[in-house]
Amino acid sequence: MTETTRKGDRIAKLLARAGVASRREVERMIADGRIAIDGKVLETPNTVLEHLRGVTVDGKPVTKPEPTRLFAFHKPSGLITAERDPKGRATIYDALRNALPKSAPRVMPIGRLDYNTEGLLLLTNDGEFKRMLELPANSVERTYRARAHGSVTQEQLESLIEGITIDGVHYGRIDANLERRTGANQWIELTITEGKNREVRRVLEHLGLEVNRLVRTAFGPVTLGDLGRGQAVEIKKQDIGRFRSSVKQVRD
């Protein structure tokens, strides 16, 4: 019987939905022998299940998935978007200990912000929701404000609407507008939908600009607003529902 005709989902998807970890991280956990079913260590992430009864992670039973929760965090620059850093640098989780309410579950960042990038970072306990928002094919908009040294024209920025290829990497549609000039610096607003690694910085550097400050101001319908640096706020349940329904999903 093929996977498409069997009932259930791959275990990585179920564990992600339960908030254990992202699908990719679950696959690493399986490779490390940390996940078992009825006491037998799981050897492949291709296992299809209808439920998580009998599944353990590090010897502990997987609990029933909690309702999806979503938090907006104003990440300051100088923090790594990871649980730990081999170089010993501070991570977002160091700041989140004091920023999140005590009732908050284990949360995972939706996408990443570079060490020197600040602004809106979304966090959730739902691995499937996280994956849905991260998939480039789902075209969830992210908006940034960049302060960059150098000169650029609005015409150059408007050419990015068709996408651009840099060093063999193609970046899709970018809606960019010159906000204002402050001396030798330009403030530019950019909206992207792919979120590739260092996308905004690389595109602006390709135009001859040197980015010296980068702030993410929106992710989908969630905006940074007046949320203070290092602070977090929970998104209302009804707003999560509207966010989810607004995403035009593709199958993955």
Angle, in degrees to the nearest 10, between helices 127-134 and 237-246: 40
Token pair listed for 238: 């009804």
In this prediction, residue 6 has a pLDDT band, given cuts at 50, 70 and 90, of low
Supply the pLDDT for residue 7. 73
Segment 175-202, tens digit of pLDDT: 999 998 888 899 999 999 988 889 999 9
CA distances 98 to 16, 61, 71, 104, Å, are 25, 28, 14, 11
What's the whole-model pTM score?
A: 0.81
Enumerate the active-site residues: 114
Q: Tell me the residue type at 43.
A: E
In Å, the largest CA–CA distance within the chain is 67
- Strand partners for 143: 191, 218
pLDDT > 70: what percent of the chain?
96
pLDDT in tens, 134-164: 988 899 999 999 999 999 999 999 999 999 9
Q: Which of 99, 82, 98, 106 is nearest to 19 (CA)?
A: 106
Question: Which of 85-89, 117-121, 145-149 shows the lowest mean pLDDT across its residues?
Answer: 85-89
Tokens encoding 252:
């993955």
**Pair type for strands 169-171 and 164-166:** antiparallel
Nearest residue to 124 (alpha-carbon basis) of 228, 240, 213? 240
The pLDDT of residue 3 is 43
Is residue 5's pLDDT more than 80? no
What pLDDT was estimated at residue 159?
96
Q: Which DSSP symbol is given to 162?
A: G
Residue 144 has which token pair? 């940034």
Q: ∠ CA(240), CA(23), CA(16), 5° rounding?
A: 45
- pLDDT for 2 equals 44
